[in-house]
Amino acid sequence: MDLDITQLRSLIEMLTELDVAEFEHESEGRRVKVVRGARVAVGGPAFYAPSGGAAAPGPSPAAAAAPAVDDGSVDVTSPFVGTFYRSPSPDAPAFVEIGTVIRPGQTLCIVEAMKLMNEIEAEFSGTILEIYAQNGKAVEFGQKLFKIKKA
Amino acid sequence: MYKDLERVPALVAERGLALGAPLTCRDETASTNDDAKRAAKEGAPAGSLFLAESQTAGRGRMGRTWLSARGENLLFSLVVRPNCPPSRVPPLALVAGLAVRDAVAKVVGEGEVKVKWPNDVLVRGKKIAGVLVESTVVGSRVDAVIVGIGVNVLSRDLPEAIASIATSVALELPAGAPPPDRAAILVDVLAGLDRDLGHVAARGLGLVHARLGRADALRGRRVAGELGAGTAEGVDTDGRLLVRDDAGVLHRWSSGEVTLAPRRA
């Protein structure tokens, strides 16, 4: 038995309207659980609802490059909690600027955690469209660092 | 290569270590970390060891320089290729400090050899070794981790500017003791890394966490960093420094330089 997407939508709309954080319902061996603000999970028979929004099943949960909305650009995200640096040392020029044309293997930035200097390299050719993170500031796991237009 | 290090390949083979070969030794180089990083990009195998008798551009954190007199110390970098997600890499920086600590303690005695988070090695509060770990991440894949280590071994005359804050293995030995053996210390560091890097990359700091606690130079001490100040309360299982501020709130620091306040009288 498939999940009725229209029913699910109206259920979520109602829960949103009433500001219900979590809802769980079970009948005939089928369980529906909705947690607002996090994700939609469906248990019971083997059935997988896509969680939330854009992210299709990627190469891994920690994928550093996540497809953004379909304009041919991708976001590079931080692989862990740390401090974001745009240059190898305080008086050195930045690895990249907005508009820099990058090639695979080119260093984009350093994320430091526990004095481990982690160089994030480009996976593909493209152009830097946006630099989201600020030099010397803390970044979270999965936080967007760069927007890159794929060549 | 100076004569005393010629035994290194034989010692590495004898102890069956997965780290330490092939060995590239230079009389002088800009930075062994740069040598190792370049080689890693060109496909150098895991375990490759780059050693130099002197560095013209030795680096510490954020481009700071690391100075060393020719032939007196140990300056080396290893190529490691852990098969793990990027989030498992930062704890390896702590493993490196621990491996150096244990190798130094074996020579100068267990007592006052500690690790200042994340991985400076101190003897009686003076720095004897520094570690700089660099890694390269491409997408969600860890390409290589470069473990760079500098240990002051034979130096007896430290520059005046650092004599009050630095020391060497030779200076920590009793007067009249034979000079320390650079090759033995190097191979002990490699053995420590060989034992611990793999399981920490795979499963985290669990198995070394108690040893990190015993070696912790900061525990109970007043510390300050870019994120504030407080009292250090150890290291959590992700390798972050636990700091309790004056309001009693516990913080977890994951990066930045930490300075130690002088002990109160």
Q: Where are the domains of chain B?
A: 3-212, 222-260
DSSP B207: G
Which residue of A lies nearest to B37 if distances are taken between CA atoms? A119
Task: Indicate the CATH number of B3-212 among 3.60.15.10, 1.10.240.10, 3.30.930.10, 2.40.30.10.
Answer: 3.30.930.10
CA dihedral B16, B22, B26, B31 (to 10 degrees): -100
Beta-bridged to residue A14, according to DSSP, are none
Collapsing DSSP states into helix, strand and coil, what is residue B85? coil
**If you count residue pairs, one on A and one on B, with CB atoms under 8 Å apart, how many are there?**
104
Q: What is the pLDDT of residue B59?
A: 65
Q: What is the pLDDT of residue B143?
A: 93
B227-232's contacts with Cβ under 8 Å and 24+ in sequence apart are: B227/B251, B227/B253, B227/B256, B232/B117, B232/B258
Contact A119 B137 (CB under 8 A): yes
The distance of B90 to chain A (nearest Cα, Å) reads 6
Which residue of A lies nearest to B131 if distances are taken between CA atoms? A115
Contact A62 B86 (CB under 8 A): yes
Q: What is the pLDDT of residue B3?
A: 86
Given pLDDT bands bounded at 50, 70 and 90, which one contains residue B226? confident
B43 touches chain A (CB under 8 A): no
Q: What is the pLDDT of residue A9?
A: 73
Collapsing DSSP states into helix, strand and coil, what is residue B162? helix
Contact A113 B254 (CB under 8 A): yes
Residues in A touching B240 (Cβ below 8 Å)? 114
Order of strands across the sheet that contains A126-131: A65-67, A73-77, A144-150, A126-131, A101-102
The distance of B139 to chain A (nearest Cα, Å) reads 5
Total-model pTM? 0.80
In 3D space, the residue among A14, A145, A23 whose CA is nearest the CA of residue A82 turns out to be A145
Beta-bridged to residue B3, according to DSSP, are none
Beta-bridged to residue B52, according to DSSP, are B26
Q: Please state which CATH number belongs to domain B222-260.
A: 2.30.30.100
The tens digit of pLDDT for each residue in A11-30 reads: 777 776 666 777 777 666 66
d(CA B260, CA B263): 9
B58 touches chain A (CB under 8 A): no
In 3D space, the residue among B37, B32, B63 whose CA is nearest the CA of residue A107 turns out to be B37
Mean pLDDT value of segment B39-55: 95
Cβ neighbors of B99 (< 8 A, separation 6 or more) are B189, B191, B192, B193, B196
In 3D space, the residue among B118, B152, B20 whose CA is nearest the CA of residue B77 turns out to be B20
CATH of the domain at A113: 2.40.50.100
Q: What is the pLDDT of residue B244?
A: 97
Residues in A touching B90 (Cβ below 8 Å)? 80, 82, 113-114, 116, 118
The whole domain housing A29 covers 5-150
